[in-house]
Structure 1
Amino acid sequence: MNRQEAEDIIYASYLEAQKYQNYDDPDSKKRHPEYTEELTEGLGKGVPGHTICVTGSKGKGSVSVMLSEMGQALGYRTGLLTSPHIKDFNERIRFQGEMISDSDFTRCVEATEDILSSVKPQVKQGTYISPVGYQALVALRYFREKRANLRIMECGKGAKYDDVAHVPHDIAIINNVFLEHTRELGDTLESIAGDKSHILRKNCRYGIIGPQMDNIDRIFIERAKKTGTKLLIYGRDFWVKDVSYSKEGMRFTYVFSGVSFPETMGLPLEGKMEFSVPLLGEHQARNAALAITAMLLIDPSVREKQEELQAALQRVVWPGRMEIKSQHPFTILDATINRESAKSVKHVLHELGMHRVTLIVGIPDDKDYVGVVEELQDYTNCLILTGSKNPHYVFMKKQVETLSEMGHRADWIDDTEKAYHMAKKYAAEEETPIVILGTTSVISEYTEMFQKELS
C-alpha cells in the first residue's frame, strides 16, 4: 500500500455513501460518530498524560499548533492532529512537530482497517465511517506507538457529530463561535454553539471558553453543568491586554486570575506574563491565551517558565493564517471564506496602517465571497478574483458579474499564479501591499508557489 492508496481508503466509505445522500442535509442526518466511538475510546483511554480537544468557528488550528509547540518546549512527548492539510495529507498527523512518515502512515491505516473490519458490517447504506473518524483512529494509534503524553486533537466543523470530539479528553477548548457551516450545524448562532458545546463531555475535567458574542457563554455553562466540567472563561478568568502590532507579529500581556484555577496551589490571585508571537491579528493573541491557560491547568509551574513558552510561540508557523509571505511587496496570506473572518483581516490592516491594498480573493461560489469583498471594500484599491485547480470546488467568472451588479469592480484570472503576478503589477503601480484571501485549496496553491520562488 502506498500513501495515495491509504488516503483513498480513508475516504472510501464517505465517497460510497455520497450518492445516497442529500447534499443539504445537516450533520445530524449524515454523520455517525457512533461507528468509531468505541474504537476511539479504546485507543484514547488508559494512556498517560493529557488529551486536549479543540473546537470553535475560527482559530482552532492556530490554538492546536501553539499547544503543540508549548508542549514540546515543556518536555512533553506531543502528538498533534489537525485538518485540513495544505499540501500533503501527512501534515494532519504530527509527533514532536514532525509529520508522520509515509511508511508509518500506511502501516497505521492498514492496522486501522483491521480493527474497523468488525464495524463495517454495521454501516447502513447511505451512511459512512467518517474520514475524520478514520484519521483520528490512525493518529491515536500512532501517538500510542510514540508514547505521546500530550495529545492535541483538532475537531472538524462541529463537535456533537464529530468523531474527534468523542476521543476521551480531560481538557476541551472552545474558541469563538459565529455563523459558519450553517448547512451542517444549523442556521442560528445558538444551534452552532449548541453543537460545539458537546465537546464538553463526562470525564472532561476542564473547559476553556474563548471570547464569544451575544451571551453565547450561557450555552456552554449549561452544558458544563450536565457534564461536571469546570469552565474557565475568557474575560472573566483570563484575558489579554496591551496588544500591539508590527510587520513581524504581535506583542501582548496575558493575565490570569489565580482564584479561578482549580487544584493550582500557589498561584497568585492574579498574574501576568509578556509575550510576542510571529502572527498577525489580535485574535492570535487571544488564541495564545487559550493555549497558555490549558498549559497552566496541566502544570501550574508553567507560570515560572515564561522563557520556554515565549520560545515556543516564536516557533509557531501556521500556513495560511494571516501569514506574512513576502516583505517586497508586503504580502499576507489568509484562509478567509466568510465576512466574520474578513473583519479580523480588516482589523489587522487598520492596526498596521495599511488603508489601501491590492486584494486577491479565491473563494468558491457556494461560500461567502460577497461578504468578504464587501467587508474589505474600503481597503481595496484593486480586486482580483481567482480559483484553484481542485475539482471539488466551483469558482466561476460569474462572480465578477455578481459583484459588478453590487458596485464592485473586479478582474478575473482563473490561474492563481498569474493572479499574483497581476497583483504585483498593480501593487507596484499603486504602492500597496497585497492581501490574498481564499479557501484552503487556493491557499495551498499559493503556499507551493512561494516555496518555489524561495528554492
Structure 2
Amino acid sequence: MKFLTMKEAVPYIYSSLLKAKPFQQEENDALTRAPHLTKELLHTLDLIPSSDKVILVTGSKGKGSTSRMMAAILRKMGLKVGLFTSPHLINYNERIRVNGKAISDEAFLTYLNSHGSTIDNITASIENPQHYLGPTGILLSIALAHFQSEATDINVIEIGRGGTYDDTNVLENNWAVVSKVMEEHLGFLGHSLEDIIRHKVGIVKECTKYAVIGKQSEEALEMMRELLSESAAFWGEEYMPSNVSASLSGSTFTLQTMFSRYEDLSLPLLGSFQVENAALAIQACETVIGRGLPSDLLKEALRELRWPGRLEVVADNPTVVLDGSINRVSAAYLKEILPLVDSKKVVTIIAVPSNKDYEGVIKVCSEFSDVLIVTTPDNSHKTFPADALEVARKYQAGAMEVGLLSEAVELVQTFEPTLIFIVGTQSMIGSAKEIWKDSLMDIG
C-alpha cells in the first residue's frame, strides 16, 4: 500500500500496536514490548548510526525540554543536529527535526513507503500475540532515514517511555542523559520508584561513555548512585546553577560545570524547572564537545530558545499561559507565574487524560484559581476522565465542565480574567496553539 497523505500514514504506524492490544493482559513493558523487532527493522534498512552520533535522553519530567535545549546548543556550536521527540502538538512531523525544522510531509511519506514492505514482513513474523512493532520504532526508522539523508553530525533522541524496553534504546549511544525521575507509568514500568529508575537508567549501556544525571529527589539519587558508575556527572556535584532570578521574560542564572563557569545566562522560558533542564543540557553538551562551551555562543543559543507548551505566554490582556502539566508536581510550577503578572482573577482550563494524575493537577490548580474549568482538547485520541467535574468540585464547589477547549476559551473571556492558564496533555496544548494560530514546523 502506498500512502499519499499523513492522514493515511499515521494510523498504519499504530496498526501493529492496536492488533496486539486485545492480547495484552498486563500493562508491563517487559512482557509486551519487543524492541528486538525495531532493531531488526533498523538493521534490515541499514539505518543504525554509530554510537558517536547518538545521545539518548530519558526522565519523567523535562526530557523533551532538555532534548530541545541540547539540540539548539549543539547546533550553535556548529553541528548539524537531528532531533527526535514526542509527542507532537499540532503536526505529527514535529517529532522529527533537523536543525529545528520539522520533516516535510513529502519526505515523511517517501521514507514510510520505502520501509513499508520491511515493516509488513516483520509484523507478519510476530509469534507472540502480545508483541508488536512499536509506533516509536517505525517512526524512529523514518527519523534515522531522514537524519542519514541530511547527513547530521549528531542526533538527540528522546526516549518514548521508560528506557530499558523502549524502541529507541536499541541504538548504541555514547551519551545518556537522565532528567528528573519520579513515579510514573506505574504498571508499564513496575510498581515502585526503584522499578522506574531501573528502567530509566537502562539507557546507560556498556557502549555509553558519558552519563549526565539531572536534579533528583534524595531517594532517587541514592538509587541511581547504586546503579551507575562513579563516572556519571550528577547535579549538585559536577555541575550546579546559582543566582537564579525570574521575570515574565524568563530566567537568568549562573552555572558552574565540570569544564567551565558561565555567568549571567539568560533563558526566555518560564519556570525554575527550565533552569534545571538548561543546566543538565549544558553539562551534557560539554561532554559531547569535550570542553567548556564558548560563552557568547551558549548565551546566543539560550536567548533564541523556543519550546512551546511549557509555561508559555501566548497572549496579553489577559495573559494566557499554556503548560503541559499532567501531574501534581509539574502543576505546582504554575504558581511561579502568579507574582510576575496581574493575577487578580485567575481562570484555569484543564484537560488531563484519565491515565494521568488528573486529580493531582486539578487539586493544585484549585489552590490558586478563581474559576476552574475541566474540558477536552478539540482533537485528541486520548481518553479523558468521566469524573473530572466531580473531582474538580471536591476542591472548588463552583467548578464547571465545558465540552471542548475552543468553547471553554470563548466562555472564559466573558469572566474578564486577568490570567488564563490552559493546562494538560500535549493535544490540549496543540488545540490551544491552533486557536492562537501558531505554527510549529520550524522552531529554529
SS in 2 for 1:19: helix
For the pair 1:17 / 2:20, whether they are aligned, the reply is: yes
Q: What TM-score comes out, normalization by structure 1 length? A: 0.89
Separation in structure 1 between the aligned mates of residue 374 and residue 157 of structure 2, nearest angstrom: 34
- The equivalent position to 1:179 in structure 2, one of 183, 205, 215, is 183
For the pair 1:446 / 2:432, whether they are aligned, the reply is: yes
C-alpha deviation, 1:4, in angstroms? 2.7
SS in 1 for 2:232: strand
- Change in 2 beyond 3 A, CA 1:355/1:372: farther
C-alpha deviation, 1:203, in angstroms? 0.7
| Contact in 2 for aligned 1:387/1:414 (Cα 8 Å) | yes
| Contact in 1 for aligned 2:266/2:302 (Cα 8 Å) | yes
Q: Which shifted more, 399-408 or 69-78? A: 399-408
Larger RCO, structures 1/2 (Cα 8 Å, 6+ apart): 2
SS in 2 for 1:273: strand
- The equivalent position to 1:189 in structure 2, one of 186, 193, 205, is 193
C-alpha deviation, 1:292, in angstroms? 0.8
- The equivalent position to 2:268 in structure 1, one of 257, 261, 278, is 278
| Contact in 1 for aligned 2:41/2:122 (Cα 8 Å) | no
Q: Following superposition of structure 1 onto structure 2, how do residues 271-310 of structure 1 map, counting pairs within 5 Å?
A: 271-303=261-293, 305-310=294-299
Separation in structure 1 between the aligned mates of residue 409 and residue 352 of structure 2, nearest angstrom: 15
What residue in structure 1 maps to residue 408 of structure 2? 419
Q: Which shifted more, 349-358 or 376-385? A: 349-358
What residue in structure 1 maps to residue 208 of structure 2? 204
1:281-333 Cα deviation digits (max 9, x unpaired): 11101111111112211224543x12212222222222211111112211110
C-alpha deviation, 1:387, in angstroms? 0.8
- Matched-pair identity in %: 31
1:172-204 Cα deviation digits (max 9, x unpaired): 110001112113112321111111110111111
C-alpha deviation, 1:154, in angstroms? 0.5
- Change in 2 beyond 3 A, CA 1:271/1:317: closer
Q: Which shifted more, 117-126 or 211-220? A: 117-126
- Counterpart amino acid of 2:34? H
Q: Following superposition of structure 1 onto structure 2, how do residues 57-96 of structure 1 map, counting pairs within 5 Å?
A: 57-96=60-99
Separation in structure 1 between the aligned mates of residue 130 and residue 53 of structure 2, nearest angstrom: 36
- Counterpart amino acid of 2:402? I
- Counterpart amino acid of 2:308? P
SS in 2 for 1:177: coil
C-alpha deviation, 1:119, in angstroms? 3.0
SS in 1 for 2:34: coil
Q: Following superposition of structure 1 onto structure 2, how do residues 220-369 of structure 1 map, counting pairs within 5 Å?
A: 220-225=224-229, 230-258=231-259, 271-303=261-293, 305-349=294-338, 354=343, 357-369=346-358
1:349-402 Cα deviation digits (max 9, x unpaired): 356684762111112334322211212333111111111244633335642223
C-alpha deviation, 1:340, in angstroms? 1.3
Separation in structure 1 between the aligned mates of residue 238 and residue 158 of structure 2, nearest angstrom: 23
Q: Which shifted more, 393-402 or 235-244? A: 393-402
C-alpha deviation, 1:243, in angstroms? 1.2
- Change in 2 beyond 3 A, CA 1:79/1:341: same
Q: What TM-score comes out, normalization by structure 2 length? A: 0.91
- Counterpart amino acid of 1:448? E
Q: Which shifted more, 1-10 or 150-159? A: 1-10
- Counterpart amino acid of 1:28? A
- Change in 2 beyond 3 A, CA 1:204/1:408: farther
Separation in structure 2 between the aligned mates of residue 223 and residue 350 of structure 1, nearest angstrom: 40
Separation in structure 2 between the aligned mates of residue 186 and residue 54 of structure 1, nearest angstrom: 20
- Change in 2 beyond 3 A, CA 1:375/1:4: same
1:59-117 Cα deviation digits (max 9, x unpaired): 11111111111122111111110111111111111112111111211121123334445
Separation in structure 2 between the aligned mates of residue 56 and residue 198 of structure 1, nearest angstrom: 11
The alignment covers a number of residue pairs equal to 433
| Contact in 2 for aligned 1:397/1:412 (Cα 8 Å) | no
SS in 1 for 2:130: coil
What residue in structure 1 maps to residue 102 of structure 2? 99
Q: Following superposition of structure 1 onto structure 2, how do residues 95-134 of structure 1 map, counting pairs within 5 Å?
A: 95-116=98-119, 119-124=122-127, 125-134=129-138
What residue in structure 2 maps to residue 160 of structure 1? 164
What residue in structure 2 maps to residue 434 of structure 1? 420
| Contact in 2 for aligned 1:387/1:442 (Cα 8 Å) | yes
| Contact in 1 for aligned 2:372/2:396 (Cα 8 Å) | no
1:115-141 Cα deviation digits (max 9, x unpaired): 445533431223100001111121112
Q: Following superposition of structure 1 onto structure 2, how do residues 39-50 of structure 1 map, counting pairs within 5 Å?
A: 39-40=41-42, 43-46=47-50, 49-50=52-53
Separation in structure 2 between the aligned mates of residue 83 and residue 413 of structure 1, nearest angstrom: 27
- Change in 2 beyond 3 A, CA 1:251/1:83: same
Separation in structure 1 between the aligned mates of residue 103 and residue 270 of structure 2, nearest angstrom: 28
| Contact in 1 for aligned 2:380/2:427 (Cα 8 Å) | no
1:244-293 Cα deviation digits (max 9, x unpaired): 111111111111144xxxxxxxxxxx623321111111110111111111
- The equivalent position to 1:218 in structure 2, one of 196, 207, 222, is 222
- Change in 2 beyond 3 A, CA 1:366/1:39: closer
| Contact in 2 for aligned 1:200/1:223 (Cα 8 Å) | no
Separation in structure 2 between the aligned mates of residue 15 and residue 402 of structure 1, nearest angstrom: 31
- Counterpart amino acid of 1:281? G
| Contact in 2 for aligned 1:335/1:443 (Cα 8 Å) | yes
What residue in structure 2 maps to residue 145 of structure 1? 149
- The equivalent position to 2:366 in structure 1, one of 370, 377, 381, is 377
Q: CA RMSD in A?
A: 2.3
- Change in 2 beyond 3 A, CA 1:350/1:216: farther
